[in-house]
Amino acid sequence: MAYQPGRQFLQIPGPTNIPDRVLRAIAQPVLDHRGPEFAKLAAELLVRIRPIFKTRQPVLIFPASGTGAWESALVNTLSPGDRVLGFDSGQFALLWTQMARKMGFEVETLATDWRRAPDPAAIEAALSADREKTIKAVLLVHNETANGCMSRVAEIRAAMDRAHHPALLLVDTISSLGSADFRMDEWGVDVAIGGSQKGLMLPAGLAFCGVSEKAIAASKQAKSPRCFWDWEPLLANTGGNFPYTPACNLFFGLREALDLIDAEGLENIFTRHARHAEATRRAIRGWGLEIVCAEPRDYSQSITAAFMPDGHSADSFRKLVLERFNMPLGAGLGRLADKAFRIGHLGDTNDLMLGGTLFGVEMGLVAANVPHNAGGVMAALSYLAERSGEAGRIAA
Protein backbone atom coordinates (compact mmCIF):
# COMPACT_ATOMS: atom_id res chain seq x y z
CA MET A 1 0.00 0.00 0.00
CA ALA A 2 1.13 3.55 -0.73
CA TYR A 3 1.75 5.89 2.19
CA GLN A 4 -1.49 7.18 3.69
CA PRO A 5 -1.28 10.29 5.87
CA GLY A 6 -2.74 10.37 9.34
CA ARG A 7 -3.13 7.60 11.86
CA GLN A 8 -4.64 4.29 10.93
CA PHE A 9 -8.14 3.69 12.35
CA LEU A 10 -7.67 0.26 13.87
CA GLN A 11 -11.23 -0.98 14.41
CA ILE A 12 -10.75 -4.72 14.73
CA PRO A 13 -11.92 -6.41 17.96
CA GLY A 14 -8.30 -6.76 19.10
CA PRO A 15 -5.48 -6.18 19.37
CA THR A 16 -6.78 -2.71 20.09
CA ASN A 17 -5.32 0.78 20.01
CA ILE A 18 -2.57 1.27 22.60
CA PRO A 19 -2.48 4.63 24.42
CA ASP A 20 0.71 6.62 23.94
CA ARG A 21 1.32 6.57 27.68
CA VAL A 22 1.29 2.78 27.65
CA LEU A 23 3.61 2.63 24.64
CA ARG A 24 6.08 4.93 26.38
CA ALA A 25 5.93 2.82 29.53
CA ILE A 26 6.70 -0.35 27.59
CA ALA A 27 9.71 1.35 25.98
CA GLN A 28 11.58 1.61 29.30
CA PRO A 29 14.92 -0.17 29.70
CA VAL A 30 14.69 -3.84 30.66
CA LEU A 31 14.84 -4.71 34.34
CA ASP A 32 16.51 -7.71 35.93
CA HIS A 33 13.51 -10.01 36.29
CA ARG A 34 15.19 -11.61 39.32
CA GLY A 35 16.00 -8.28 40.95
CA PRO A 36 14.21 -6.36 43.72
CA GLU A 37 12.77 -3.63 41.47
CA PHE A 38 10.90 -6.08 39.25
CA ALA A 39 9.81 -8.12 42.29
CA LYS A 40 8.20 -4.98 43.72
CA LEU A 41 6.47 -4.20 40.40
CA ALA A 42 5.17 -7.74 39.98
CA ALA A 43 3.88 -7.91 43.57
CA GLU A 44 2.01 -4.64 43.01
CA LEU A 45 0.41 -5.78 39.77
CA LEU A 46 -0.62 -9.20 41.07
CA VAL A 47 -2.79 -7.32 43.58
CA ARG A 48 -3.95 -4.48 41.29
CA ILE A 49 -5.21 -6.79 38.56
CA ARG A 50 -7.76 -8.44 40.87
CA PRO A 51 -10.34 -5.60 40.88
CA ILE A 52 -10.51 -5.76 37.07
CA PHE A 53 -11.84 -9.32 37.48
CA LYS A 54 -13.85 -8.24 40.53
CA THR A 55 -12.24 -10.95 42.61
CA ARG A 56 -10.31 -11.38 45.81
CA GLN A 57 -8.85 -14.63 44.51
CA PRO A 58 -5.37 -14.96 42.94
CA VAL A 59 -4.94 -13.88 39.33
CA LEU A 60 -2.03 -15.67 37.65
CA ILE A 61 -0.08 -14.02 34.83
CA PHE A 62 1.56 -15.99 32.00
CA PRO A 63 3.72 -14.71 29.11
CA ALA A 64 1.23 -15.83 26.43
CA SER A 65 -1.91 -14.97 24.53
CA GLY A 66 -5.35 -15.88 25.81
CA THR A 67 -5.11 -19.26 24.06
CA GLY A 68 -2.42 -20.21 26.55
CA ALA A 69 -4.76 -19.35 29.41
CA TRP A 70 -7.39 -21.64 27.84
CA GLU A 71 -4.91 -24.50 27.99
CA SER A 72 -3.80 -23.63 31.49
CA ALA A 73 -7.40 -23.70 32.73
CA LEU A 74 -7.97 -27.14 31.22
CA VAL A 75 -4.80 -28.92 32.32
CA ASN A 76 -4.88 -27.59 35.87
CA THR A 77 -8.48 -28.53 36.63
CA LEU A 78 -9.05 -31.73 34.63
CA SER A 79 -7.68 -35.26 34.28
CA PRO A 80 -7.31 -37.19 31.01
CA GLY A 81 -10.67 -38.45 29.78
CA ASP A 82 -12.71 -36.03 31.88
CA ARG A 83 -15.99 -34.89 30.39
CA VAL A 84 -16.69 -31.18 29.79
CA LEU A 85 -19.61 -29.16 28.44
CA GLY A 86 -18.73 -26.70 25.67
CA PHE A 87 -20.51 -24.68 23.00
CA ASP A 88 -20.65 -24.33 19.24
CA SER A 89 -21.92 -20.77 19.52
CA GLY A 90 -19.14 -18.86 17.77
CA GLN A 91 -15.62 -19.27 16.46
CA PHE A 92 -13.82 -18.88 19.78
CA ALA A 93 -16.21 -21.04 21.77
CA LEU A 94 -15.73 -23.69 19.08
CA LEU A 95 -11.93 -23.38 19.14
CA TRP A 96 -11.87 -23.89 22.89
CA THR A 97 -13.87 -27.11 22.57
CA GLN A 98 -11.55 -28.27 19.78
CA MET A 99 -8.57 -27.66 22.04
CA ALA A 100 -10.21 -29.72 24.79
CA ARG A 101 -10.75 -32.64 22.39
CA LYS A 102 -7.16 -32.50 21.15
CA MET A 103 -5.98 -32.68 24.73
CA GLY A 104 -7.89 -35.87 25.38
CA PHE A 105 -11.00 -34.60 27.15
CA GLU A 106 -14.49 -35.78 26.24
CA VAL A 107 -16.52 -32.80 25.04
CA GLU A 108 -20.30 -32.55 24.95
CA THR A 109 -21.33 -29.59 22.80
CA LEU A 110 -24.43 -27.42 22.86
CA ALA A 111 -24.92 -25.55 19.58
CA THR A 112 -26.56 -22.27 18.62
CA ASP A 113 -27.09 -20.70 15.20
CA TRP A 114 -24.11 -18.38 15.94
CA ARG A 115 -26.56 -15.50 16.32
CA ARG A 116 -27.31 -16.08 19.98
CA ALA A 117 -25.42 -16.68 23.19
CA PRO A 118 -25.67 -20.05 24.98
CA ASP A 119 -29.08 -20.61 26.56
CA PRO A 120 -29.02 -20.95 30.37
CA ALA A 121 -32.06 -23.26 30.21
CA ALA A 122 -30.30 -25.61 27.79
CA ILE A 123 -27.27 -25.67 30.07
CA GLU A 124 -29.46 -26.46 33.06
CA ALA A 125 -31.12 -29.30 31.14
CA ALA A 126 -27.77 -30.77 30.06
CA LEU A 127 -26.41 -30.70 33.59
CA SER A 128 -29.63 -32.06 35.10
CA ALA A 129 -29.44 -34.98 32.65
CA ASP A 130 -25.93 -35.76 33.89
CA ARG A 131 -27.17 -37.79 36.85
CA GLU A 132 -23.77 -39.35 37.52
CA LYS A 133 -22.16 -35.88 37.64
CA THR A 134 -19.51 -36.88 35.12
CA ILE A 135 -19.27 -33.39 33.57
CA LYS A 136 -16.35 -31.77 35.33
CA ALA A 137 -16.36 -28.29 33.77
CA VAL A 138 -18.41 -25.87 31.66
CA LEU A 139 -16.35 -23.93 29.07
CA LEU A 140 -18.09 -20.60 28.49
CA VAL A 141 -17.00 -17.60 26.41
CA HIS A 142 -18.34 -14.43 28.04
CA ASN A 143 -18.10 -12.29 24.90
CA GLU A 144 -17.96 -14.11 21.57
CA THR A 145 -15.74 -11.95 19.38
CA ALA A 146 -16.84 -13.65 16.17
CA ASN A 147 -20.48 -12.61 16.32
CA GLY A 148 -20.89 -9.95 18.99
CA CYS A 149 -22.98 -12.09 21.36
CA MET A 150 -22.41 -11.83 25.12
CA SER A 151 -23.24 -14.70 27.46
CA ARG A 152 -25.33 -14.11 30.56
CA VAL A 153 -22.85 -15.54 33.04
CA ALA A 154 -24.86 -14.84 36.19
CA GLU A 155 -27.92 -16.62 34.71
CA ILE A 156 -25.78 -19.57 33.69
CA ARG A 157 -24.30 -19.80 37.18
CA ALA A 158 -27.85 -19.80 38.58
CA ALA A 159 -28.83 -22.53 36.11
CA MET A 160 -25.89 -24.67 37.25
CA ASP A 161 -26.92 -24.15 40.86
CA ARG A 162 -30.53 -25.14 40.12
CA ALA A 163 -29.21 -28.34 38.55
CA HIS A 164 -27.22 -28.95 41.77
CA HIS A 165 -24.23 -29.75 39.61
CA PRO A 166 -20.65 -29.52 40.94
CA ALA A 167 -19.01 -28.75 37.57
CA LEU A 168 -16.45 -25.97 37.49
CA LEU A 169 -17.40 -22.83 35.55
CA LEU A 170 -14.51 -21.74 33.30
CA VAL A 171 -15.12 -18.40 31.58
CA ASP A 172 -13.17 -16.74 28.78
CA THR A 173 -13.28 -12.95 29.36
CA ILE A 174 -10.64 -12.13 26.74
CA SER A 175 -12.75 -9.64 24.76
CA SER A 176 -14.88 -8.41 27.66
CA LEU A 177 -12.38 -7.85 30.48
CA GLY A 178 -12.11 -4.12 31.12
CA SER A 179 -14.87 -3.41 28.58
CA ALA A 180 -18.02 -4.95 30.07
CA ASP A 181 -19.06 -5.80 33.58
CA PHE A 182 -17.61 -9.10 34.78
CA ARG A 183 -17.89 -10.28 38.38
CA MET A 184 -15.81 -13.36 39.02
CA ASP A 185 -16.63 -13.81 42.70
CA GLU A 186 -20.26 -12.70 42.66
CA TRP A 187 -21.06 -14.85 39.62
CA GLY A 188 -19.36 -17.95 40.99
CA VAL A 189 -16.76 -18.24 38.24
CA ASP A 190 -14.04 -20.78 39.01
CA VAL A 191 -11.49 -19.82 36.34
CA ALA A 192 -11.62 -16.44 34.59
CA ILE A 193 -9.42 -16.23 31.52
CA GLY A 194 -8.11 -12.93 30.18
CA GLY A 195 -5.69 -11.45 27.69
CA SER A 196 -3.81 -8.16 27.56
CA GLN A 197 -4.53 -7.05 23.99
CA LYS A 198 -8.14 -5.89 24.16
CA GLY A 199 -9.80 -3.94 26.98
CA LEU A 200 -6.54 -3.71 28.90
CA MET A 201 -5.05 -1.64 26.03
CA LEU A 202 -1.76 -3.54 25.78
CA PRO A 203 -0.03 -5.61 23.09
CA ALA A 204 -0.68 -9.33 23.12
CA GLY A 205 1.66 -11.20 25.44
CA LEU A 206 0.04 -11.39 28.88
CA ALA A 207 -2.49 -14.11 29.70
CA PHE A 208 -4.44 -14.18 32.95
CA CYS A 209 -6.15 -16.90 34.97
CA GLY A 210 -8.24 -15.81 37.92
CA VAL A 211 -8.66 -18.93 40.05
CA SER A 212 -11.23 -19.70 42.75
CA GLU A 213 -10.63 -21.81 45.85
CA LYS A 214 -12.64 -24.59 44.21
CA ALA A 215 -10.45 -24.44 41.10
CA ILE A 216 -7.29 -24.51 43.19
CA ALA A 217 -8.60 -27.57 45.06
CA ALA A 218 -9.34 -29.24 41.72
CA SER A 219 -5.81 -28.48 40.52
CA LYS A 220 -4.37 -30.48 43.41
CA GLN A 221 -6.29 -33.55 42.23
CA ALA A 222 -6.06 -33.10 38.44
CA LYS A 223 -3.75 -35.53 36.67
CA SER A 224 -3.26 -33.81 33.31
CA PRO A 225 0.44 -33.29 32.52
CA ARG A 226 1.50 -29.66 32.76
CA CYS A 227 4.75 -27.80 33.17
CA PHE A 228 4.75 -24.31 31.64
CA TRP A 229 1.02 -23.89 32.42
CA ASP A 230 1.22 -25.24 35.98
CA TRP A 231 -0.50 -23.02 38.55
CA GLU A 232 1.41 -24.28 41.57
CA PRO A 233 4.61 -22.22 41.21
CA LEU A 234 2.61 -19.12 40.29
CA LEU A 235 0.34 -19.50 43.30
CA ALA A 236 3.46 -19.55 45.44
CA ASN A 237 4.76 -16.42 43.69
CA THR A 238 3.93 -13.21 45.53
CA GLY A 239 6.53 -11.16 43.70
CA GLY A 240 9.05 -11.57 40.94
CA ASN A 241 9.85 -15.24 41.39
CA PHE A 242 8.31 -16.48 38.13
CA PRO A 243 9.29 -20.02 37.05
CA TYR A 244 10.37 -18.64 33.65
CA THR A 245 11.21 -15.26 32.16
CA PRO A 246 8.11 -13.06 32.39
CA ALA A 247 7.14 -10.48 29.75
CA CYS A 248 8.96 -7.82 31.76
CA ASN A 249 8.27 -4.70 29.72
CA LEU A 250 4.60 -5.56 29.35
CA PHE A 251 4.44 -5.29 33.14
CA PHE A 252 5.46 -1.63 32.79
CA GLY A 253 2.65 -1.23 30.29
CA LEU A 254 0.16 -3.04 32.53
CA ARG A 255 0.93 -0.69 35.41
CA GLU A 256 0.31 2.32 33.15
CA ALA A 257 -2.88 0.78 31.74
CA LEU A 258 -4.21 0.14 35.24
CA ASP A 259 -3.42 3.76 36.12
CA LEU A 260 -5.54 4.86 33.15
CA ILE A 261 -8.36 2.51 34.14
CA ASP A 262 -8.26 3.82 37.72
CA ALA A 263 -8.30 7.43 36.49
CA GLU A 264 -11.38 6.90 34.32
CA GLY A 265 -13.08 4.49 36.71
CA LEU A 266 -14.05 0.95 35.77
CA GLU A 267 -17.80 1.62 35.86
CA ASN A 268 -17.33 4.73 33.71
CA ILE A 269 -15.43 2.59 31.21
CA PHE A 270 -18.36 0.19 31.03
CA THR A 271 -20.71 3.14 30.43
CA ARG A 272 -18.51 4.40 27.60
CA HIS A 273 -18.39 0.99 25.95
CA ALA A 274 -22.16 0.58 26.23
CA ARG A 275 -22.63 4.00 24.61
CA HIS A 276 -20.33 3.16 21.72
CA ALA A 277 -21.97 -0.23 21.19
CA GLU A 278 -25.44 1.30 20.97
CA ALA A 279 -24.23 4.05 18.62
CA THR A 280 -22.71 1.42 16.34
CA ARG A 281 -25.91 -0.61 16.29
CA ARG A 282 -27.91 2.51 15.41
CA ALA A 283 -25.59 3.17 12.50
CA ILE A 284 -25.94 -0.39 11.21
CA ARG A 285 -29.71 -0.24 11.43
CA GLY A 286 -29.65 3.18 9.76
CA TRP A 287 -27.78 1.68 6.80
CA GLY A 288 -30.43 -1.03 6.56
CA LEU A 289 -27.91 -3.77 7.36
CA GLU A 290 -28.59 -6.66 9.72
CA ILE A 291 -26.81 -7.10 13.03
CA VAL A 292 -25.45 -10.64 13.41
CA CYS A 293 -26.49 -10.93 17.06
CA ALA A 294 -30.22 -11.58 16.84
CA GLU A 295 -31.12 -11.12 20.51
CA PRO A 296 -30.86 -7.60 22.00
CA ARG A 297 -30.26 -9.07 25.47
CA ASP A 298 -27.13 -10.74 24.06
CA TYR A 299 -25.61 -7.63 22.46
CA SER A 300 -21.89 -7.21 23.06
CA GLN A 301 -20.37 -4.03 24.46
CA SER A 302 -17.04 -4.73 22.76
CA ILE A 303 -17.78 -5.61 19.14
CA THR A 304 -20.66 -5.48 16.70
CA ALA A 305 -20.87 -7.71 13.63
CA ALA A 306 -23.02 -6.86 10.60
CA PHE A 307 -24.10 -9.00 7.66
CA MET A 308 -23.39 -7.86 4.13
CA PRO A 309 -26.37 -7.91 1.73
CA ASP A 310 -26.73 -11.08 -0.30
CA GLY A 311 -24.40 -11.18 -3.27
CA HIS A 312 -21.80 -8.88 -1.72
CA SER A 313 -18.48 -10.02 -0.30
CA ALA A 314 -17.60 -8.82 3.18
CA ASP A 315 -13.93 -9.50 2.52
CA SER A 316 -13.92 -7.41 -0.66
CA PHE A 317 -15.63 -4.61 1.24
CA ARG A 318 -13.06 -4.75 4.05
CA LYS A 319 -10.23 -4.74 1.51
CA LEU A 320 -11.60 -1.60 -0.13
CA VAL A 321 -12.04 0.17 3.21
CA LEU A 322 -8.48 -0.70 4.23
CA GLU A 323 -6.88 0.39 0.95
CA ARG A 324 -8.91 3.54 0.47
CA PHE A 325 -9.39 4.78 4.02
CA ASN A 326 -6.61 3.03 6.00
CA MET A 327 -9.11 1.43 8.36
CA PRO A 328 -8.94 -2.29 9.19
CA LEU A 329 -12.27 -3.90 10.07
CA GLY A 330 -12.68 -7.37 11.58
CA ALA A 331 -13.21 -10.30 9.23
CA GLY A 332 -16.08 -12.72 9.43
CA LEU A 333 -14.82 -15.92 11.05
CA GLY A 334 -15.84 -19.54 10.65
CA ARG A 335 -19.45 -19.80 9.47
CA LEU A 336 -19.52 -16.03 9.01
CA ALA A 337 -16.49 -15.89 6.69
CA ASP A 338 -17.05 -13.40 3.85
CA LYS A 339 -20.64 -12.91 5.04
CA ALA A 340 -20.10 -10.37 7.81
CA PHE A 341 -17.68 -7.70 8.94
CA ARG A 342 -16.94 -6.69 12.52
CA ILE A 343 -16.47 -3.28 14.12
CA GLY A 344 -14.41 -3.32 17.29
CA HIS A 345 -15.36 -0.54 19.72
CA LEU A 346 -13.33 -1.45 22.76
CA GLY A 347 -10.28 -0.25 24.59
CA ASP A 348 -8.82 3.24 24.17
CA THR A 349 -11.64 4.67 22.00
CA ASN A 350 -13.62 7.89 22.32
CA ASP A 351 -16.72 9.34 20.66
CA LEU A 352 -14.80 11.11 17.88
CA MET A 353 -12.84 7.97 17.02
CA LEU A 354 -16.04 5.97 16.80
CA GLY A 355 -17.63 8.68 14.67
CA GLY A 356 -14.70 8.57 12.26
CA THR A 357 -14.95 4.78 12.12
CA LEU A 358 -18.63 4.82 11.22
CA PHE A 359 -18.00 7.56 8.67
CA GLY A 360 -15.35 5.32 7.09
CA VAL A 361 -17.76 2.38 6.96
CA GLU A 362 -20.44 4.50 5.28
CA MET A 363 -17.96 5.85 2.74
CA GLY A 364 -16.90 2.25 2.08
CA LEU A 365 -20.48 1.15 1.49
CA VAL A 366 -20.83 3.92 -1.09
CA ALA A 367 -17.48 3.18 -2.75
CA ALA A 368 -18.20 -0.56 -2.92
CA ASN A 369 -21.69 -0.04 -4.34
CA VAL A 370 -23.22 -1.97 -1.47
CA PRO A 371 -26.98 -1.39 -1.25
CA HIS A 372 -27.71 0.64 1.87
CA ASN A 373 -29.62 3.59 3.22
CA ALA A 374 -27.92 6.91 3.81
CA GLY A 375 -27.87 8.31 7.32
CA GLY A 376 -26.38 5.59 9.46
CA VAL A 377 -23.60 7.90 10.62
CA MET A 378 -26.06 10.65 11.51
CA ALA A 379 -28.17 8.21 13.54
CA ALA A 380 -25.09 7.29 15.56
CA LEU A 381 -23.87 10.86 15.96
CA SER A 382 -27.29 12.05 17.13
CA TYR A 383 -27.25 9.37 19.80
CA LEU A 384 -23.68 10.21 20.85
CA ALA A 385 -24.55 13.91 21.05
CA GLU A 386 -27.50 13.13 23.31
CA ARG A 387 -25.30 11.07 25.61
CA SER A 388 -22.17 13.26 25.48
CA GLY A 389 -22.43 14.20 29.16
CA GLU A 390 -22.09 10.63 30.34
CA ALA A 391 -19.03 9.43 32.17
CA GLY A 392 -16.31 7.97 30.02
CA ARG A 393 -13.60 10.57 29.67
CA ILE A 394 -10.08 9.20 29.77
CA ALA A 395 -7.73 11.17 32.00
CA ALA A 396 -4.98 13.17 30.31
Among the candidates 239, 262, 285, a domain finishes at 262
Q: What is the DSSP string of 325-340?
A: H---BEEP-GGGTTTE
How many domains are there within the chain?
A: 2
Q: How many CA atoms lie within 13 A of 234 on its CB side?
A: 26
Taking 90 as the threshold, does the pLDDT of residue 309 lie above it? Answer: yes
* 171 and 45 in a common domain: yes
Beta bridge partners of 172: 141, 193
The separation between CA 152 and the C-alpha centre of its own chain, rounded to angstroms, equals 14
Task: Name the nearest CA neighbour of 115 among 287, 394, 392, 335.
Answer: 335
Buried b (16+ CB within 10 A) or exposed e, 317-340: bbebbbeebbbebbbbbebbeebb
Taking 50 as the threshold, does the pLDDT of residue 133 lie above it? Answer: yes
Q: How many CA atoms lie within 13 A of 297 on its CB side?
A: 8
The binding site consists of 342
Taking 50 as the threshold, does the pLDDT of residue 394 lie above it? Answer: no
In this prediction, residues 201-228 reach a mean pLDDT of 98
In this prediction, residues 311-318 reach a mean pLDDT of 98
Q: Do the domain assignments include residue 231?
A: yes
In this prediction, residues 231-235 reach a mean pLDDT of 96
Share of the chain above pLDDT 90, in %: 93
* 221 and 286 in a common domain: no
**pLDDT per position as a tens digit, 325-362:** 999 999 999 999 999 999 999 999 999 999 999 999 99
| C-alpha span between 375 and 13 (Å, rounded) | 24
In this prediction, residues 23-42 reach a mean pLDDT of 94
pLDDT score of 395? 40
By residue range, what is the domain housing residue 49?
20-262
In this prediction, residues 138-167 reach a mean pLDDT of 98
The binding site for substrate consists of 342
In this prediction, residues 45-73 reach a mean pLDDT of 97
For 216, the 3-state DSSP assignment is: helix
* 136 and 73 in a common domain: yes
Q: Do the domain assignments include residue 349?
A: yes
CATH of the domain at 360: 3.90.1150.10
- Cis omega before residue 166 (within 30°)? no
Task: Name the nearest CA neighbour of 228 among 34, 39, 76.
Answer: 76
CATH of the domain at 57: 3.40.640.10
pLDDT score of 1? 62
Among the candidates 226, 243, 262, a domain finishes at 262
* 295 and 282 in a common domain: yes
Q: Do the domain assignments include residue 7?
A: no
Measure the CA angle with vertex 342, ends 340 and 348; round to 5°. 180
Beta strands 59-64 and 205-211, pairing class:
antiparallel
pLDDT score of 3? 82
Share of the chain above pLDDT 70, in %: 98
* 285 and 243 in a common domain: no
| C-alpha span between 304 and 100 (Å, rounded) | 28
pLDDT score of 4? 85
pLDDT score of 396? 36
In this prediction, residues 43-63 reach a mean pLDDT of 97
